[in-house]
Amino acid sequence: MVKTMTAALKIPHFGYCDEVDLTQLVLLRSELKGLAEARGVRLSYMPFFVKGSHNIGLAMDTPQGLLVPSVKNVQALSVFEIAAELNRLQALGSAGQLGPADLTGGTFTLSNVGSIGGTYAKPVILPPEVAIGALGKIQVLPRFNSCAELVKAHIMSVSWSADHRVIDGATMSRFSNLWCSYLEQPSSMVLDLK
Ligand code: CAO
């Protein structure tokens, strides 16, 4: 952690925050959670957040401190397979048994600090990666829908950091909009799933 975070300080960080309405995803997960459990896998929200085209590193709070194992080639895995892989990494992390194969090769990191608490963060990039996202706690908050009606919404904030030598603000904004749109309308994710 000392070596990588010191190296990270050389990166000019660009920060970008937004909120995502997870109301439909909360409903979808509640429908799928029992099905996954019947097949021996605990399904949290992370497998939905992770589903992209990368080796997604997951910041993990373990008895040995911060570790970042990665789920490899998430584009080729189903949400269920990502959940199973995350369960495996979490079990190894808790037992202090994560090895070099799991701890190397990440291309993008997500830090779900919201599983402990907090709304916004200023995540530090894990070199040689060029971007990272921190996820806040999912909160039930009042929001207006497209018909200007007040509704109960499940809101999560996301805080991205990007290496401004490689990624500009507009690119980060377009990426964030796309990521949020998949999670706000999880049925659209199903259409593109492989
Ligand atoms: N908001 C609300 N609830 C959340 C949540 C969030 N952002 N994230 C997780 N939860 C819920 C889960 O859904 C789960 O509830 P259920 O029992 O209903 O499924 C419960 O909290 C526990 O989830 P979990 O933490 O075991 O699993 P996960 O897949 O969501 O997260 C992991 C896995 C490894 C990312 C997480 O355990 C962890 O270690 N987080 C800390 C990361 C960290 O330390 N970041 C800082 C890095 S900089 O030092």
Question: Could you tell me the mean pLDDT of each successive run of 10 residues in the chain, 194 residues long?
Answer: 92 96 97 96 96 91 96 94 97 96 97 97 96 98 96 98 96 96 89 72
Query: Cα–Cα distance between 164 and 115 in angstroms, integer?
Result: 28
- Domain presence at residue 113: yes
- Domain presence at residue 94: yes
Q: Give the residue numbers marked as catalytic.
A: 164, 168
Q: Identify the three-state secondary structure at position 63.
A: coil
Which distant-in-sequence residues (6+ apart) come within 8 Å of 158 by Cβ? Answer: 17, 18, 19, 20, 133, 134, 135, 136, 176, 179, 180
Instruction: Tell me the best of 48, 70, 112, 158 to mutate to test the pocket of ligand 1, counting ligand atoms within 8 Å of each CB and taking the most.
Output: 112
- Domain presence at residue 130: yes
- Domain ranges, residue 127: 2-185
- Domain presence at residue 193: no
- Domain presence at residue 151: yes
1 Cα–ligand 1 center, Å: 20
Q: How far is CA 39 from CA 50, 80, 104, 107, 190, in A?
A: 20, 9, 29, 29, 20
In DSSP terms, 71 is beta-bridged to 56
**Total domains present in the chain:** 1
pLDDT at res. 192: 72
pLDDT at res. 187: 87
* Residue nearest to ligand 1 atom 15, measured at CA: 44
Q: Strands 108-111 and 56-58, how do they pair?
A: parallel
59 Cα–ligand 1 center, Å: 10
- Domain presence at residue 101: yes
- Domain presence at residue 50: yes
Number of neighbours of residue 38 by Cβ within 10 angstroms: 8
Ligand 1 pocket check for 135: Cβ under 6 Å: yes
Name the pTM for this structure. 0.92
Ligand 1 pocket check for 94: Cβ under 6 Å: no
Query: Cα–Cα distance between 20 and 138 in angstroms, integer?
Result: 9
CATH code at position 97: 3.30.559.10
Ligand 1 pocket check for 46: Cβ under 6 Å: yes
Query: Cα–Cα distance between 46 and 80 in angstroms, integer?
Result: 11
Ligand 1 pocket check for 83: Cβ under 6 Å: no
- Domain presence at residue 191: no
The closest alpha carbon to 107, from 77, 132, 80, belongs to 132
80 Cα–ligand 1 center, Å: 17
pLDDT at res. 167: 96
Ligand 1 pocket check for 86: Cβ under 6 Å: yes
pLDDT at res. 188: 84
